[in-house]
Chain A
Amino acid sequence: MWMSRRGVNLGVLYILPAMIIIVAGLAYPVIYNLYLGFFRGGIVGTGRQQFVGLANFASILRSREFWEVAKNTGIWTAGITVLIELLGFAAAFLLNQSLRGRVIFRVIFLLPFVIPGIVAALIWRFMLDPSFGALNDVLWRLRITHEYFPWLARKETALLTVMVVYLWKVFPFPMIMFLASLQTIPDELYEAARADAANSWQLLRLITLPMLRGTVLATTILMIILAFNSFDLTYIMTGGGPVRSSEILAMYVYDLGFTSLNFNGAATVATLMFVASITFILLYVSRTMHEESDTG
């Protein structure tokens, strides 16, 4: 490589400012959380921090709250990942057909992704209102429900409702990933298969899906990570309620830290979140970097 010898130190200079920011900005919180997890301090971190060993971890892992939130997070992450990929794939598949006006549809489908999360959350909260919410009216008129229902205020439906809103907002993301992949599949493959009298279903099963496998894997890992980290939507729509039925882990960290003012507890859960997600993160990173060096 013509730059490898002379450029050894120079390259480091170029990346230095960025790397300082990133390493400081990311390593610091992770390490500080870890540190706080082993201590207990006064309110708002004032006063001395006392070493308590694994007491924080023990009490968190023994609390019923934590496992309830963990269960919610599991339902949330798994449910969203599966459904959003199906939805994203369906949309991508439709957009991949040579139809007139598909660019317009593509722009429309991307809109939820582009608007601010807070705007999306508030519009939906308005539409889900039990008295004047548009959604309730539509469902009632279509005879899907018998009466107006407080979707966000009942613990049976709160989590699922926020999941639906998340799907609406984020489905363009897997859609775009799948669409990009679909467009790389050469038409000749399909034509050749059709010449062999394959029907549409076989085309999908034997050509499209296998060629999409890499993208599906990457998108799945990415969605798991993104869904797991999610915070904004639940915070604005339900605040975790009612009775923590829609509370997911990121929300729980916030709750412990800033509502209960238990900073050490919050840090403990944050560390647990970090440990849980690092596997998937490293998985995704190693896959992506591997592809990089393949094509680079």
Chain B
Amino acid sequence: MKSDRSSTLLAYICLIVLAVLVLFPFAWMLATSVKTQPDVYKSPPVWIPKKLTLANYQGILTPKWGIYTLNSLLVCSVTTVIVVAVGSVAAYGFSRFRFRMRDTLLSVSLVGRLLPVSVMFVPFYMMFAKIGLSDTLWTLVVVYVITNLPFGIWILTEYINSIPRSLDEAAIIDGSSFLQVMIRVVFPVASPGIVTVAFLSFISSWQEFLFANLFLTTVSRRTLPLGLMGYQGQYFIDWGGLMAAAVATALPMTLVFVIFQRKIVPGLTGGALKG
């Protein structure tokens, strides 16, 4: 029918327009990363460069960048492992047990997710400075765990709640302890939720800039986001190099997301979103 066809067309047009608006910055980032230095700064900007180059990517092949990557990997992995380990155990406790403070403490978790980060600036800085741990990667891990754990617990509790207790009961009747039930029965079934929390914790720590900037002064301890900021000099910003580094920083995460989006997206809304 005509009205159906035209409204479908309209919908597609809207989708395409929105997609272009969303994708344009990405395209520009990629394009700039392969432009020659003069082209990057031409005014008006060059839309179709005559020469392409990979020179801008030299920055990420340096040992310095390798160290940044290593530091980021280290911090993010440790953070993720702690958040998942502590969080899933806690989620199991919240989901399967009833105790007096249960609702209150669960609420505290949720509050934790929503607290302004600015509340943590001064106290954490002063505390770590006093202990003398200011310029270490461990400090970052502590801060990242504190900021990611609440949300992780919340998602995992919801997820485990949706796993029928009959599974637990069957295992308990078979003689397992609560601990065994948790590890052998509940966690395997909860693995999509666990993967989601791991993914979210990882990318949240990977891109965290604020506290990294605040605490890490020694160059050899810096993480990737700080490396990106390093492309900005006082008078001159190496935009070409920066865009290349940005591609290098953003690409892995983006690819992982695109490949696994079917699993991750439902986790974001607590399983309500189909495929």
Query: Does B119 lie within 8 Å of A176, measured CB to CB?
Result: no
Say yes or no: is B58 at the interface (Cβ < 8 Å to chain A).
no
Say yes or no: is A159 at the interface (Cβ < 8 Å to chain B).
no
Closest CB of chain B to A117's CB: distance in Å? Answer: 6
Interface residue count for B (Cβ, 8 Å)?
99
When distances are taken between beta carbons in the complex, the residues of chain B under 8 Å from A231 are: 117-118, 210
Say yes or no: is B70 at the interface (Cβ < 8 Å to chain A).
no
Query: Does A273 lie within 8 Å of B122, measured CB to CB?
Result: no
Query: Does A99 lie within 8 Å of B15, measured CB to CB?
Result: yes
**Distance in angstroms between the alpha carbons of A12 and B101 in the assembled complex:** 9
When distances are taken between beta carbons in the complex, the residues of chain A under 8 Å from B275 are: 103
Say yes or no: is B228 at the interface (Cβ < 8 Å to chain A).
yes
**Distance in angstroms between the alpha carbons of A271 and B229 in the assembled complex:** 30
Which residue in chain A gives the minimum CB-CB distance to B3?
A200
**Residues A2 and B169 in contact in the complex (CB < 8 Å), given A11-B102, A109-B22:** yes
Query: Does B121 lie within 8 Å of A132, measured CB to CB?
Result: no
Say yes or no: is B265 at the interface (Cβ < 8 Å to chain A).
yes
**Residues A126 and B99 in contact in the complex (CB < 8 Å), given A18-B89, A108-B22, A183-B273:** no
When distances are taken between beta carbons in the complex, the residues of chain B under 8 Å from A19 are: 90, 105, 108
When distances are taken between beta carbons in the complex, the residues of chain A under 8 Å from B146 are: 21-22, 25-26
Query: Does B8 lie within 8 Å of A99, measured CB to CB?
Result: yes
When distances are taken between beta carbons in the complex, the residues of chain B under 8 Å from A267 are: 122-123
Which residue in chain B gives the minimum CB-CB distance to A8?
B99
When distances are taken between beta carbons in the complex, the residues of chain B under 8 Å from A117 are: 207, 209
Closest CB of chain B to A241's CB: distance in Å? Answer: 15
Say yes or no: is A79 at the interface (Cβ < 8 Å to chain B).
no
A-B contact count (CB 8 A): 293
Closest CB of chain A to B216's CB: distance in Å? Answer: 14
Say yes or no: is A58 at the interface (Cβ < 8 Å to chain B).
no
Closest CB of chain B to A93's CB: distance in Å? Answer: 9
**Distance in angstroms between the alpha carbons of A114 and B250 in the assembled complex:** 9
Say yes or no: is B62 at the interface (Cβ < 8 Å to chain A).
no
Query: Does A7 lie within 8 Å of B118, measured CB to CB?
Result: no
**Distance in angstroms between the alpha carbons of A99 and B5 in the assembled complex:** 12
**Residues A18 and B161 in contact in the complex (CB < 8 Å), given A11-B102, A250-B118:** no
When distances are taken between beta carbons in the complex, the residues of chain A under 8 Å from B117 are: 229, 231, 250
Interface size band for A: 35 or more
**Distance in angstroms between the alpha carbons of A281 and B150 in the assembled complex:** 14
Per the 8 Å Cβ criterion, residues 52-102 of B in contact with A are: 86-87, 89-90, 92-94, 96-99, 102
Query: Does B253 lie within 8 Å of A116, measured CB to CB?
Result: yes
Say yes or no: is B132 at the interface (Cβ < 8 Å to chain A).
no
**Residues A236 and B8 in contact in the complex (CB < 8 Å), given A109-B19, A132-B45:** no
Per the 8 Å Cβ criterion, residues 26-53 of B in contact with A are: 26, 28-29, 32, 40-45, 47
B-contact 0/1 string along A160-183, CB 8 Å cutoff: 000000001000000011011101
Closest CB of chain A to B83's CB: distance in Å? Answer: 9
Give the A-binding residues of B (Cβ under 8 A): 7-8, 11-12, 14-15, 18-19, 21-26, 28-29, 32, 40-45, 47, 86-87, 89-90, 92-94, 96-99, 102-103, 105-112, 114-127, 129, 142, 145-146, 149-150, 153, 158, 161, 165, 169, 178, 182, 203, 206-207, 209-210, 214, 225, 228-229, 239, 242-243, 246, 249-250, 253-254, 257-258, 261, 265, 268-269, 272-275
- Listed by A's residue number, 16 A-B pairs whose Cβ atoms lie within 8 Å are A3-B97, A12-B93, A15-B94, A18-B87, A18-B153, A25-B142, A112-B22, A126-B242, A134-B28, A176-B273, A231-B118, A254-B118, A258-B125, A273-B119, A274-B116, A277-B114
